[in-house]
Chain A
Amino acid sequence: MKSTHMLLLSRVLAAIFGGYALTSGVAVLLAAVLPMSRAEAVLTATLSAFVIYTCAVIWVFAVQDLRRVWMGMLLPAIVCGGLGLLLSRGGA
């Protein structure tokens, strides 16, 4: 495959899967830290997810540097997700 195609594929994968990872990570953090009952916090997190995902995908296609794109997806995903799991209220 041509290198331009590989670059495009990488960007699309970053948008779809990287974006989903970021969305899930942020949602996990929100569910853990929002000052509401557990059920309410989880619902708020899931309802907000689609705004986050949309913004992430738009950002992936607005930024030139592909490395920055992947970092921008995976770093927050890991940090937020990790923090959220640590702070979770005795779930998983």
Chain B
Amino acid sequence: MAWLHTWCGLWISWLLFAIFLTGTLAVFDDPIGHWMTPEHALEEAAHANDPPPPKVTDRANRLALALDFMEKEHPKADMWEIWPVQRPGQGLSAYWFQPSGGYGSAELNPLTGALVEHVREENQRDTIGGHHFVDFHYELHAGRIGVWIVGITTMIMLVALVSGVITHKRIFKDFFTFRPAKGQRSWLDAHNAVAVMTLPFQFMIAYTGIAFFSDDYVPAPVVAQYGMENGKKAFLSDWNDVGKPARIGQAMAIPDLESYALRAEQAIHQEIRAVVLDNPNDASMRVCMYGWNEESDTLKRISANTGMACYALATGEQIAVRQPGHADSGPAGLTRIVMSNLHMAGFGGTPIRWLYFFCGLAGTAMMGTGAILFMVKRRQRAGGEFGSATERVYRMIECLNVAAIAGLAVACVGYLWANRLIPVGIEQRAGWEVRAFFGLWLLMLVHACLRPEKRGWIEQLALLAVLCVLLPILNVLSTGDNLVAQITRGDWESAGVELCSLAFGLLAAWGAWKVHKRKEKPARKAAAKERGAPASLQTTMEGS
């Protein structure tokens, strides 16, 4: 079992470290995106003391304008979706399914119903902001194949977690064990400490993560129940098109939807967010009204489902109602939605986000210490696991450790540097920021392979420290804004990014210094076979 834990853990450690670190940063994807759009942030700050816009009173008119637009532009679409009062901004939007697949969308002027063309402001930098970390985290910026790689890695992580617990026989007795400055023993204690302290979180985050694409990873039951041809489509339709009526083919005019919106608000006690009209202009027309979750809803409830009320327009009767948080279908549907919101920390507000951030860092540390422990141990006494190639494989693992741990962190902060350094107006600017992330990571890999192990760590950690600590200075030089000004005007998102960067920088500097002070113990003779070795030479091992 220790063998299983070591080898499962090692081979996925580098990729999983990246998935975990980017996932941890993804908790704060919006604040990071806010810091990465300084022009927009400063504009917001300029309007911070403006009085709030008056409450919208012309929703009926907005609905009518949107219906007119859809009638003219997309009369054949069998689903019209209208968001009469967007948040934020109180705009008016319409959505439909394009025949080629995917959502079509249009923003409309709430007073005239005319299409609003989106022109990016010349001076606003194009960026995907913090969503880079989200996209990398679940699909490695690699679409379907990325989703599969992440899924396989997560599955192996589950095995590593269980085998780790089994291996750690004295898990309760050893709970408060930490023996510093004892080399391999200390690394093991650190590995155990961060893992055991956050163990429930680690299991939860891994399982809820892999559950997102459960029907992709395990298609057998879908195929068995729904058939090979279009089975997946039929399964999704069962979920998404619950209660969707079939077209009758008899024409019927769309009645006034505002009265239905008012009825729905009475039924679900939420302000209306979205109006979904199925089979427009047909006698089978159904309208479903969805509500907005307010902050108080997200604080007290894990399920992200909003309230919903559906009406048959031919008769006016209410055909379905769902209270906020409930699931239309049943326990499985509710479980799925709770799992996804558990994973994305979409509940409980800021305190939960910070909890996930620290647990995520602990999980990241769990992987990092594990990978480092593997080599610390084998530099003390080589294991000969790969026969004559062992030394070469060990060298490769050391390079990967430096590049995957220190190198990845450099790439993450380097992404923020790229955001300030890449010229604002250039084509495909957002793509260049992501390329800077990958390019910097690749550079760190090359550096790690060329430098001796100790130098590799020191140099990359030092670089990390410099980039993190100087980030606020970079901001001053590139935008004129500074940390004190951010705090003074209450922009805690930007200030948070810079303060965390400073903290990570100091941590990296401390790490570089510790490696610099590392005393190299003389390695024991490599033990190819343990036969005849006196018992005193064998260290009591809790790992393999």
Question: Which of B19-27, B333-341, B396-404 participates in binding chain A?
Answer: B333-341
Does B68 make an interface contact (CB < 8 A)?
Answer: no
User: Quick check: B225 and A91 within 8 Å, CB to CB?
Assistant: yes
Which of B223, B228, B332 is in CB contact (< 8 Å) with A44? Answer: B332
User: Quick check: A40 and B330 within 8 Å, CB to CB?
Assistant: yes
Task: Tell me the complex Cα distance, A91–B373, Å.
Answer: 51
For residue B189, give the distance in angstroms from its CB to the closest CB of chain A. Answer: 25
Which of A50, A53, A92 is in CB contact (< 8 Å) with B211? Answer: A50
Q: Beta-carbon contacts of A81-92 to B below 8 Å, as 1s and 0s?
A: 100110011011
Size category of the A interface is 35 or more
User: Quick check: B224 and A36 within 8 Å, CB to CB?
Assistant: no
Does A69 make an interface contact (CB < 8 A)?
Answer: no
Which of B163, B218, B226 is in CB contact (< 8 Å) with A46? Answer: B218
Does B89 make an interface contact (CB < 8 A)?
Answer: no
Does B166 make an interface contact (CB < 8 A)?
Answer: yes
Question: Which of B154-162, B416-424, B447-455 participates in binding chain A?
Answer: B154-162
Does B231 make an interface contact (CB < 8 A)?
Answer: yes
A-B contact count (CB 8 A): 116
Q: Which residue of B lies closest to A87 (CB)?
A: B224
For residue A55, give the distance in angstroms from its CB to the closest CB of chain B. Answer: 8
Task: Tell me the complex Cα distance, A81–B329, Å.
Answer: 26
Q: Beta-carbon contacts of A18-62 to B below 8 Å, as 1s and 0s?
A: 000001110110111000111111111111011101100110011
- Knowing A57-B159, A91-B226 are in contact, say whether A62-B1 is a contact too (CB < 8 A): yes
- Knowing A40-B332, A58-B159, A91-B231 are in contact, say whether A49-B224 is a contact too (CB < 8 A): no
Task: Tell me the complex Cα distance, A32–B166, Å.
Answer: 33
For residue B209, give the distance in angstroms from its CB to the closest CB of chain A. Answer: 10
Chain B count of residues within 8 A CB distance of the other chain = 37
- Give chain B residues whose Cβ lies under 8 Å from the Cβ of A89: 225
Does B177 make an interface contact (CB < 8 A)?
Answer: no
User: Quick check: A39 and B210 within 8 Å, CB to CB?
Assistant: no
Does B227 make an interface contact (CB < 8 A)?
Answer: yes
User: Quick check: B166 and A42 within 8 Å, CB to CB?
Assistant: no
Q: Beta-carbon contacts of B44-79 to A below 8 Å, as 1s and 0s?
A: 000000000000000000000000000000000000
User: Quick check: B218 and A23 within 8 Å, CB to CB?
Assistant: yes
- Give chain A residues whose Cβ lies under 8 Å from the Cβ of B246: none
Task: Tell me the complex Cα distance, A57–B163, Å.
Answer: 10
User: Quick check: A36 and B330 within 8 Å, CB to CB?
Assistant: yes
Does B238 make an interface contact (CB < 8 A)?
Answer: yes
Which of A39, A49, A62 is in CB contact (< 8 Å) with B218? Answer: A49
Task: Tell me the complex Cα distance, A43–B335, Å.
Answer: 10
By a beta-carbon cutoff of 8 Å, the part of chain B in contact with chain A is 1, 3-4, 155, 158-159, 162-163, 166, 207, 210-211, 214-215, 217-218, 220-228, 231, 235, 238-239, 329-333, 335-336, 339
Q: List 6 A-B contacts (CB under 8 A).
A: A31-B221, A43-B215, A45-B218, A51-B207, A58-B166, A91-B227
Give 9 closest A-B pairs by Cβ, nearest first.
A31-B221, A24-B220, A39-B238, A46-B214, A40-B332, A43-B332, A49-B218, A45-B221, A91-B225
Could you list 20 further interchain pairs (A-B, Cβ under 8 angstroms) beyond the known A84-B224, A92-B228? A30-B221, A31-B225, A32-B225, A37-B329, A39-B332, A40-B331, A43-B332, A44-B335, A45-B218, A46-B215, A47-B335, A50-B155, A50-B211, A53-B155, A54-B155, A61-B163, A62-B1, A88-B224, A91-B223, A92-B231
